[in-house]
Amino acid sequence: MLATICSAALVGIDALSVQVEVNTGETGEPRLYLVGLPDAAVKESDDRVFSALSNSGFRMPRTRTTINLAPGDLRKEGALYDLPIALGILAADDKLQAERLEDYLIAGELSLSGATRPVKGGLAMAVLARASGRRALLLPRITAEEAALVEGVAVYAVDSLDQAQRFLAGELALTPVKPSAPAGPAHASADGTVDFSEIKGQQSVRRAVEVAVAGGHNVLMIGPPGSGKSMIAKRVPTIMPRPTLDEYLDILRIHSAAGQTLNDTTHFRERPARAPHHTISDVGLLGGGVIPGPGEISLAHNGVLFLDELPEFKRSALEVLRQPLEDGHVTISRSAGKVTLPCDFMLVAAMNPCPCGYLGDPRNSCRCSPSQIQRYRARISGPLLDRIDIHIEAPALSLAELRTDRPAETSAAMRGRVEAARGRQQVRFAGTRIPANARMTPAQIKRHCELDPALGETLQQAMEQLHLSARAYDRILKVARTIADLAGADRIASPHLLEAIQYRSLDRNVFY
């Protein structure tokens, strides 16, 4: 007898429909044949499924059984087909009515005892089920809690194969899972772990970071060891505006595709903050694999990517950032297919001024030769530096600054100004897909960053003296627009433009 169950395959961060066809009663040796381009994990499902069926009290088919995962040209990976295969075997063996399975999208891994285990991609499966007109999903509990965030489709959580069989047979009633999320503070600073009030001195760096967050700009901090660069970078998420529900679902969809669930998230509705080590590979940073999956830049989507000790990263890894920084998405091509992953993140980078780190430090002498400094700084290419909107020096702190007891401004105060500036940008870009000033198109720059003749002359002189590129010209205007938003100004004024220009002080010929 033939039974068909709807399941899914995860490609990138999206789910594609997969039909699990099970046919029993065939003549031949009583064994299971699995076809449909399965990977090793899928091929091993027969041992898990047979043990799960046996330990759940069901008799194994005593005839040849063929299982086809359609479409046959789409590679299938993972253990998410265990539950639909087991239920398909029961339906093909008249233990379930095949008609009752038609309205459900089913996925889940099975243990040898028959208990279900979570799988990745629950949110993407719920989106697929809603788009394909499925009435409901049948998923392991943790995966179901994640999928329940998608409106318009019922999600049922099952803890075992036996429970799933009784539910589909009409012997057990289950209630759809209600959307839930782990309780947590609205911002990381609310639980007292990190806060900008702990940063001593560095007023210019604090200001630059506030401007960067307010407009979604990339920022590079350069300074000696102990100047607070890493401390500041770790506190950037505490002043970022809370993501909208759509932004949060995008974040969750990417993390779900990477195998992380709601229970792995410390705070609900928080922007991600990723800080990969400088030994990371190109694939780890960009994404990839046999079946392309998200890398660190996609996991930082709608959040922060912090690269500490920027020149220590491999040159190839840094250069792959150029296109994602510009476009907000990355396309990865492999033999198994091509996927486009979102990666609209804010880059926060930090580096020393020289290999020993003490160039310009009044208390420590630099031991590096000019050629060593040149080679060290040349690890960051000009095109990559062009894509970093704000460059700011973080000087060494004096003993007086370190010993001061004067309270510094809190993250909450800074976040209030950031949210006010972002509110103005939301009004400005209403009806478009532009989230902040950093993503303005050339047409929008021309419309919203208009300069009077005197300011235009000032910017032209700065461009000529600093030998800035055309890309730097646009980024200065974007940063100036953000500074004006923080000041509540409708037009860019001289102080806003001059402050934006000074944030290019490490650019090009000055930097090298």
pLDDT tens figures, 149-172: 888 899 999 999 999 999 999 999
DSSP string for 273-329: EE---TT--HHHHHEETTTTEE-HHHHTTTSEEEESSGGGS-HHHHHTTHHHHHHSE
What is the pLDDT confidence band of residue 261, given thresholds at 50, 70 and 90?
Answer: low
Beta carbons within 10 angstroms of residue 333's beta carbon: 11
What is the pLDDT confidence band of residue 180, given thresholds at 50, 70 and 90?
Answer: low
What is the pLDDT confidence band of residue 264, given thresholds at 50, 70 and 90?
Answer: low
Rank 88-102, 179-193, 207-221 by mean pLDDT and report only the highest. Answer: 207-221
Helix (H, G, I), strand (E, B) or coil at 225: coil
Is pTM beyond 0.75 here? yes
- At 25 the pLDDT is 77
Per-residue pLDDT, averaged over 172-192, amounts to 64
pLDDT tens figures, 91-144: 988 888 877 788 899 999 999 999 999 999 999 999 999 999 888 999 999 999
Q: Peptide bond preceding 276: is omega within 30 degrees of 0, i.e. cis?
A: no
CA distances for 53 relative to 24, 85, 337, 363, angstroms: 15, 11, 34, 72
Distance of alpha carbon 474 from alpha carbon 389, whole angstroms: 9
Average pLDDT along the chain: 88
Helix (H, G, I), strand (E, B) or coil at 337: strand
Distance of alpha carbon 21 from alpha carbon 34, whole angstroms: 10
The continuous run of DSSP H or E covering 393 comes out as strand 390-393
Q: Answer whether residue 184 shows pLDDT above 60.
A: no
What is the percent of the chain with per-residue pLDDT over 90, rounded to a whole number?
A: 59
- At 334 the pLDDT is 76
- At 391 the pLDDT is 93
Domains located in the chain, CATH noted: 2-168 (3.30.230.10), 188-432 (3.40.50.300)
Distance of alpha carbon 385 from alpha carbon 269, whole angstroms: 31
CA distances for 247 relative to 116, 211, 251, 264, 430, angstroms: 30, 21, 6, 18, 16
Per-residue pLDDT, averaged over 448-453, amounts to 92
- At 277 the pLDDT is 94
pLDDT tens figures, 451-490: 999 999 999 998 888 888 788 899 999 999 999 999 999 9
Q: Answer whether residue 427 shows pLDDT above 90.
A: yes
